[in-house]
Amino acid sequence: MATLKLDLARMRLIAGFVDTYLRLTPEEEAIFRRELAAMEPQQQEVIMEITTSWMEEGRQQGRQQGLQQGRQQGLEQGRQHEALLVLRQLTRRLGEIEPDVRARIETLSLTQLEELGEALLDFSTTADLDAWLDQRSA
């Protein structure tokens, strides 16, 4: 690819294709490294620039995906923590919560859990909780 004298955008396109669809096996990677070592330093530099730029793009994409997954996991963990907190508060206020009601609470969004956390202060019976849940599911 380095000998084709393509512009950087085309080299990146080809390198991205090769990386995506034609991954090197460990043996092929060893051959690539041997052939690279046998080349002139100027050719090595061009090839390493291609692989480095395309590897950096991959790293950036990986970082972005990792951040997005981390945010989603963090939100889900926060929601689960809020659900556990609300369930503990409900148990303390109303006594043991039935498994089916517990399951309904565990499926609420974070916003709904926060609303329930405030509303439960006004509950005096499990009927109040059932009515609140029924309103949210209607």
Q: Kindly report, residue by residue over 83-113, the tens digit of the pLDDT.
A: 999 999 999 999 999 999 999 999 999 999 9
- The Cα 47–Cα 42 span in angstroms is 9
Global pTM value: 0.55
H runs (alpha helix) in the chain: 8-21, 26-38, 41-94, 99-106, 110-119, 126-137
Query: What pLDDT score was predicted for residue 55?
Result: 61
Who wins on pLDDT, 116 or 63?
Answer: 116
Yes or no: say if 63 and 71 are a contact pair by the CB < 8 Å rule: no
CA atoms within 13 A on the CB side of 10: 6
Specify the pLDDT at position 30.
Answer: 85
Provide the pLDDT for residue 107.
Answer: 93
pLDDT of residue 73: 93
Sign of CA dihedral 68, 74, 77, 83: negative
More confident residue, 50 or 34: 34
pLDDT of residue 124: 95
**CA–CA gap between residue 102 and residue 79 (Å, rounded):** 14
Choose among 122, 130, 137: nearest CA to 100. Answer: 130
For residue 118, is pLDDT > 70? Answer: yes
Which residue would you say has higher pLDDT here, 39 or 104?
Answer: 104
DSSP state of 1: -
